[in-house]
Amino acid sequence: MAYKAGIAGASGYAGGGILRLLACHPYLEIAWVGGEASTGTTLAELHPWLHEILDDRGLPRMKVQGVSESLDLSGLDLLFTCLPAGESSRYLAKLGAKTPDRIVDVGPDFRLPEETHLVWYGFSRPEEAGTGEWVYGFTEAYRSVISAAKRVANPGCYAYAALLALYPLAKEKVIRGEIFIDGKSGLSGAGRGAEKRLLLSEATENTVAYAVEGHRHQPEIEMVLEDLCGATMVVFVPHLVPMARGLMVTAYVPLSPDIGAETVSAIYSEIYAGEPFVAMTSAPPNTKAVRGSNMAAIHVAVRQRGNEGFKVAVATVAIDNLGKGAAGSAIHNANVMLGLDETAGLSSWGLWP
């Protein structure tokens, strides 16, 4: 059975990533693509990887329809919304009863509780968007809830990587103090819009920290940690690095004094056993190994300070910020929602070199 899927925001990097994955998906058919500034443009004009000779379904010639004009999408089985902050919730409120049965939002509008969302994003979501129905799409932790959901909010890219690093320790409740997280992302994480800091002459041979006063993905991390093990303080600082795509986080997690390295390794191995898109590695991972895939490569080690018993788990996670951090996880969540093979349409292998 083929499910009809649509993409609102098909011109951006996340929307383009979903488009690429859907083009090869065995069960999901691209039935509608929408945008605003790109209205009337063909997909081949927006995404150079689409070649007429390789597609006999007319996908390269499919034109982007105006999002504000397309207010009846009830004929779709599934909608991916990849719109900037504030736009997904407003659009879904306009759709009302003419909304598809299932929605995966790749933007930030439905990730956080209303009060927290207002603090970090500065606007309230329209009640007509159904803000109380949404499930947070951290698949590895909330798979059973996602499988019964009709509305899934995809995690932010940094949040997903950080949560993969912390989930086993949080689930086993062995965290004993404040967590420090260092994050580094390729420039595509900032989106496709033109910004001075993303120019080649500005970004090349340069690494810069940003949002040091607080990044919007931090409350997502704290929300899930509170759900899993109670309130835990997090200090998170992201950095832009001069590469197109890829994301790495290293989390420094204080542990119970009686927890050893072998126990920590066993916790990660047991919890991630059988996960189709998580690989435990014997050495710290690199971002190129997961480039273009939906894989997360994870390494964990334990450091101890002398004989004082103070122990810290150092968990490093590498993902593709446009794969596992956006388009890949959106497809993964859609597969779970529809009861499909979780790996359908998704690649486990990275591109090397």
Q: Is 82 a residue of the active site?
A: no
Q: Contact at 8 Å (CB) between 344 and 280?
A: no
Contacts of residue 95, Cβ cutoff 8 Å, sequence gap at least 6: 71, 72, 73
Enumerate the β-bridge partners of residue 104.
80, 152
How many degrees, rounded to 5, is the angle at CA 100 between CA 326 and CA 345?
Answer: 40
CA separation for the pair 60, 57 (Å, rounded): 8
CA separation for the pair 282, 51 (Å, rounded): 40
| Angle in degrees, 0-180, between the axes of helices 13-22 and 328-338, rounded to the nearest 10 | 50
Contacts of residue 139, Cβ cutoff 8 Å, sequence gap at least 6: 146, 329, 332, 333, 336
CA separation for the pair 225, 114 (Å, rounded): 18
Contacts of residue 207, Cβ cutoff 8 Å, sequence gap at least 6: 184, 239, 240, 241, 242
| Angle in degrees, 0-180, between the axes of helices 261-272 and 157-171, rounded to the nearest 10 | 120
Q: Contact at 8 Å (CB) between 211 and 156?
A: no
Q: Contact at 8 Å (CB) between 23 and 59?
A: yes
Catalytic: which of 24, 82, 157, 229?
157
Contacts of residue 153, Cβ cutoff 8 Å, sequence gap at least 6: 105, 109, 110, 111, 134, 135, 136, 137
Q: Contact at 8 Å (CB) between 83 and 8?
A: yes
CA separation for the pair 169, 173 (Å, rounded): 6
- Of 293, 292, 295, residue with least CA distance to 279: 295
Tell me the longest C-alpha to C-alpha distance in the chain: 67
Catalytic positions, written as ranges: 157
